[in-house]
Structure 1
């Protein structure tokens, strides 16, 4: 029974992490390089992922995709984790590193890894509902990241106007809003358009996951440091463990509880490195947090899903 449960959990997490590992080895074998990763990541962000989110939300029932209680709780946890990590950093993290540390501890890779896990576990429901959570979550992630990096960076200013401008042009946010609007008005598209969209969108998650794997630096695991490990543990262990239990206590159950866990347990987003570099902060620390949290999450997500399945909570 326990072995069967383990393999059930592995069928959810295995394919996702296999793509990450494939990216690592493809990079090592020089079948992909920085130029490929940059181009493919840009394609995923600007075209593939928006298409996936739009069609998954369009084809879902709007009452099912727009789960305000899930979105509200996810937002609340994000804010609490942000505050918790910031308070924790005040006495334990050098001033110059606090912005990078806090961002690494709260900003999850929901748009790729979280969404891929949700789709693997819950199919269409995971894609549509997860797409809404990820798309709307980007707004809060960006605002909080700009605030904390701006405070601790000598060269980066928290310009609210530029933040709002970037959010208004974000392809993921726009695709989620377009999908919700199209679903609400009952937009019908020709069958050939739907099939073509599905073909195009099907490339999204494998390609994005391979790019993340290819961008990971295994050297970062050796040169990790206390701060990177600490931020990673907050992101993939303490936050999902604590707030998944609280979610269960206040009434979340079944696939909703499972969705919350998968998104809360997702490792640090790769874009946090870009944000840190743009802020003139320690890019090496940001890269270390991304690498370590991703590797740690391979264990913590599987173990957490196993416990949730074992006790019949999801």
Structure 2
């Protein structure tokens, strides 16, 4: 239990510090966007590049892991979409956003700091693999479905093509490509440049956690708690269970990768979840779900780490 709390408490204390800094007026909530752009554009790409470029290609390309993470994410996304459509009776756009909330983890801001403490340096590789799945599959599919629900169904494929083209300007995707190229060719950056990149990468975890806390200020749960809890339950409980089930069915992989997949799957939804919903006028619900999932994840992630520790071979 001491190990579990030593992992989770510092993470959520930093989130609380970010919340207090904005709540007290020390920082403005609008300033969190600037901080977020710095983390997403520089810190996380530097970390991903460093994690990939310093390993051989065989150490960073794991087809079974990609299949498991893509399968678990897609199962939760389409399952959440089906539930929202058939059981809740929601239109396609909000249903697609419910599916996104159940399947897209906050891998960079919350998942990485926790995974680094549990599985060590390989967490950067796991993050990069997750980013491939999330940016090439989960997010484009969700946005295409949501857009097609708001307009003509025939517009789904053009919307998907636009989403995929936008990846060419995504710093994280560019960092993954560059890191894989270095891993494949053995190319290494000059030592001063490599040290600079590594230095920038070290800022990602504390800044990301501070940012999460700041973005939670002002979010409310009023009038939508029941539906919010359904999405939160799907994200924090059902998704890691689905990931564990797929890993059990597929050929065995490195225990560190297996643990990383389940840990990242158990994270709350991505921090830009409400921003993505603004186009479809569903940001209030998504903000409430983000708040509830972030608070509840302290308990569910602590319970998960304890549970993995009780299962022989799951924790290093």
TM score, norm. by length of structure 1: 0.90
Aligned to 1:216: 216
Aligned to 1:306: 306
Work out whether residues 102 and 232 of structure 2, in 8 Å CA contact, stay in contact via their aligned partners in 1: yes
Q: Which of 130, 136, 141 is matched with 1:139 structurally?
A: 136
1:261 aligns with 2:287: no
Distance 2:292 2:152 in 1: 27
Work out whether residues 51 and 175 of structure 1, in 8 Å CA contact, stay in contact via their aligned partners in 2: yes
Work out whether residues 68 and 246 of structure 2, in 8 Å CA contact, stay in contact via their aligned partners in 1: no
Work out whether residues 102 and 148 of structure 1, in 8 Å CA contact, stay in contact via their aligned partners in 2: no
Work out whether residues 248 and 257 of structure 1, in 8 Å CA contact, stay in contact via their aligned partners in 2: no
Query: Secondary structure of the residue that 1:220 maps to in structure 2?
Result: coil
Aligned to 2:169: 169
* CA gap 1:219/1:82 in 2 versus in 1, 3 angstroms: closer
Distance 1:136 1:51 in 2: 19
* CA gap 1:108/1:155 in 2 versus in 1, 3 angstroms: farther
What is the deviation of 1:84?
0.9
Aligned to 2:49: 54
What is the deviation of 1:60?
2.7
Matches within 5 A, 1:190-229: 190-217=190-217, 219-229=219-229
1:105 aligns with 2:106: no
Work out whether residues 32 and 214 of structure 2, in 8 Å CA contact, stay in contact via their aligned partners in 1: yes
Aligned to 1:45: 40
Instruction: Structure 1: give runs of 5+ residues left out of the alignment.
Output: 1-5
Find runs of 4+ consecutive structure 1 residues off by over 3 angstroms.
154-158, 221-224, 248-253
Matches within 5 A, 1:46-85: 46-85=41-80
Distance 2:89 2:267 in 1: 23
What is the RMSD of the two structures over their aligned residues, measured on CA atoms? Answer: 2.1
Instruction: Structure 2: give runs of 5+ residues left out of the alignment.
Output: none
Aligned to 1:183: 183
Deviation per CA, 1:80-138: give whole Å up to 9, x if none.
11111111112214326323322212221123222222222122111123223224432
Distance 1:194 1:11 in 2: 31
Distance 2:3 2:222 in 1: 32
Work out whether residues 100 and 285 of structure 1, in 8 Å CA contact, stay in contact via their aligned partners in 2: no
What is the deviation of 1:252?
5.2
* CA gap 1:208/1:74 in 2 versus in 1, 3 angstroms: same
